[in-house]
Amino acid sequence: MDDWKKKHEKVVPQHNQKLPPTWVAQEKNTTMLHELGHTVHISGRNRCVAKRLVELLREAEEQAVVSSFLLADQEIEDALLETSQRGVRVYVMISSEARLGRETGDGEFEQRVLAGHTGMLNRLAGHVLFRSASHFHAKMLLVDPWSNPQGLLLTANLTREALERNEELAVELEEKDVKDAAALVGWAMWETAEHELVDPMDRFRSVKPVGSLAHPTPSENVVATTAECSELRHRVVEIIESAKRQLIVSSFGWDMEHAVVQRICQRARDGLNVTVLARVRPSAMPALISLREAGAQVLGFKWLHAKAIWSDDGRALVMSANLQANGLDQGFELGLHLDGERFEELGERLRAWFGLAQWQLEEAPRLGDVQGRAMIWQDNQLTEVNVREQSTVSLGEYTASSAEELVVDEPSIPSGEIAHEVCYTWVVNAPTLQPKAREVFQPGDEPHVSYSPRAFEEYLLRGKRLVIAVNTPEELDAAKQLKDELSAAAVVVRKETQP
């Protein structure tokens, strides 16, 4: 920096600054979990759940029933086609195309996935019977329910992304579970479907209820949300109330205003150890913040989609329903109550995910307690930041009023810099002599005698002013003295090219 510039800095500590609700990055954990369990499986890159679905389809002899919000996985499509070509009756329940078109965002229903779903319809139509409705949201596979019952209840849609990328659950169904689920699915398929696709040339056509099937009575393990039944919601509430010391809740969708979410908040406020697993998404933030404020531990994932609830009282539920009205109160959803070995295995699966969570939600953390990646919730949006121990911010360059003291009033310190400590810097330059300034000489007759240092008159928009011009710092003392004697306005720097 030259003689006529001076760098200034101000260090502002921000350790105690309170942040809005913030997702704090957790230490990266690369542990690989076993996808196949004894009865409770998880999705993953090895596609063990997808392979189990294919295996069940290949074992089908009479009938296979699939339900999924949408379907876009080549291996499963191939297995459905092969199953049908062996003479097995194959039924597929999916959501209506109109609803699928509205369900974009969050990485679940991207246009590419929807395009794959449409291609699947074109390929399988005529080989399997499709029935659709806007309220179909259950996810399961049932094979030969009345002769050799087997099946899986899932949280995953049957798409490649869900089966390989998401955190998802799949539970093996026992013989009675398959029969109970088949009764509910049969009723929903024939009495509540809105459209049907049989011939690939016809596309979907409207259908009416058969009118001969009564709604099944609730069973011990398989529960549902239907237009006539809210047993799934009742079972969720029972599990929440049963918890004595610990409650684990995993869901993709959350509604802060829903009574079930409010009840979880109250249990957390009452001192229950509540752990929440959720996908980090803006629409869920109000509910997740309420849960954190109530005292729950809230763990965030990029792709979690599993829906389950587990209580230390020995009760648990894996389900297709989100914790929203469209899931607990409306739609067609299925849930499976787990106890005994299946209960224990689900608890192990959920707790294993604790250590793999990428984020933890904090209600209002001190900035000094956060370091590294974080996502701040402000103005109804999430902003990803990198919190550093120190940040340096340049406030630019300023011109001093006079060259003998290179200072200015402290610049305005901007807000919003995310660091434990911020060093603000700015540079102050000496003022320079105007190019057209006119020299002022000492009083007296010709010849003119210059002041030492020289004095000049500068012309400004609002008039003129007298200044003392210097070339080197060594002239400053004399310039300051002459400035006082002549009542000059400032000391300025004269460039070497100026006369």
Same domain, yes or no: 416 and 454: no
Query: What pLDDT score was predicted for residue 199?
Result: 75
Judge whether 498 lies within some domain: no
Q: In this structure, what token pair is assigned to residue 95?
A: 């959501």
Strand 419-429 versus strand 63-67 pairing type? unpaired
Cβ-proximal residues to 57 (8 Å cutoff; 6+ apart), any chain: 64, 76, 79, 80, 82, 83, 141, 143
Judge whether 249 lies within some domain: yes
Same domain, yes or no: 350 and 385: no
DSSP per-residue letters across 100-138: HHH---TTTS-HHHHHHHHHHHHHHBTTBEEEEETTB--
Judge whether 411 lies within some domain: yes
Same domain, yes or no: 283 and 387: no
- Counting the structural domains of the chain, the total is 3
Query: What pLDDT score was predicted for residue 230?
Result: 95
Same domain, yes or no: 186 and 315: yes
Domain of 468? 438-493
Judge whether 197 lies within some domain: yes
Query: What pLDDT score was predicted for residue 245?
Result: 98
User: 277 near 305, Cβ under 8 Å?
Assistant: no
| Domain-terminating residue out of 362, 395, 417 | 362
Euclidean distance between CA atoms 171 and 42, whole angstroms: 9
Judge whether 97 lies within some domain: yes
User: 336 near 222, Cβ under 8 Å?
Assistant: yes
Same domain, yes or no: 10 and 36: no
Q: What does residue 195 show for φ and ψ, rounded to 5 degrees? A: -140, 160
Judge whether 204 lies within some domain: yes
| Domain-terminating residue out of 394, 411, 429 | 429
CATH code of the domain containing 160? 3.30.870.10
Euclidean distance between CA atoms 138 and 201, whole angstroms: 27
Same domain, yes or no: 340 and 397: no
Query: What pLDDT score was predicted for residue 4?
Result: 94
Q: Is 454 exposed, middle or buried (0-12, 13-18, 19+ CB in 10 A)?
A: buried
Same domain, yes or no: 340 and 368: no
Q: In this structure, what token pair is assigned to residue 104?
A: 């974009």
Query: What pLDDT score was predicted for residue 111?
Result: 67
Same domain, yes or no: 120 and 226: yes
Query: In b/e form, how buried is each residue of 369-380, taking b as 16+ CB within 10 angstroms?
Result: ebeeebbbbeee
Q: In this structure, what token pair is assigned to residue 279?
A: 């996908």
Same domain, yes or no: 330 and 410: no
DSSP per-residue letters across 177-204: HHHHHHHHHHHHHHHT--EEE-STTT--
Query: What pLDDT score was predicted for residue 445?
Result: 74
Of 153, 145, 172, the closest CA to residue 89 belongs to: 145
Cβ-proximal residues to 167 (8 Å cutoff; 6+ apart), any chain: 42, 43, 250, 277, 301, 303, 304, 305, 306, 353
Coil, helix or strand at residue 266: helix
pTM of the model: 0.87
Q: In this structure, what token pair is assigned to residue 165?
A: 């990328």
pLDDT 10s per residue in the chain (499 long)?
Answer: 588 999 999 999 999 999 999 999 999 888 899 999 999 999 999 999 999 999 999 999 999 999 999 888 999 999 999 999 999 999 999 986 655 555 445 555 566 676 777 778 888 888 999 999 999 999 999 999 999 999 999 999 999 999 999 999 999 999 999 999 999 999 999 999 999 988 767 778 899 999 999 999 989 999 999 999 999 999 999 999 999 999 999 999 999 999 999 999 999 999 999 999 999 999 999 999 999 999 999 999 999 999 999 999 999 999 999 999 999 999 999 999 999 999 999 999 999 999 999 999 999 999 999 999 999 999 999 999 999 999 999 999 999 999 999 999 999 998 888 999 999 999 999 999 999 999 999 998 778 899 999 999 999 888 899 999 999 999 999 999 999 999 999 999 998 766 6
Which residues sit opposite 315 in a β-bridge? 311
Same domain, yes or no: 456 and 469: yes
**Distances, alpha carbon 441 to alpha carbons 402, 407, 447, in Å:** 21, 29, 10
Same domain, yes or no: 442 and 399: no
| Domain-terminating residue out of 388, 405, 429 | 429
Judge whether 144 lies within some domain: yes
Judge whether 499 lies within some domain: no
Same domain, yes or no: 405 and 451: no
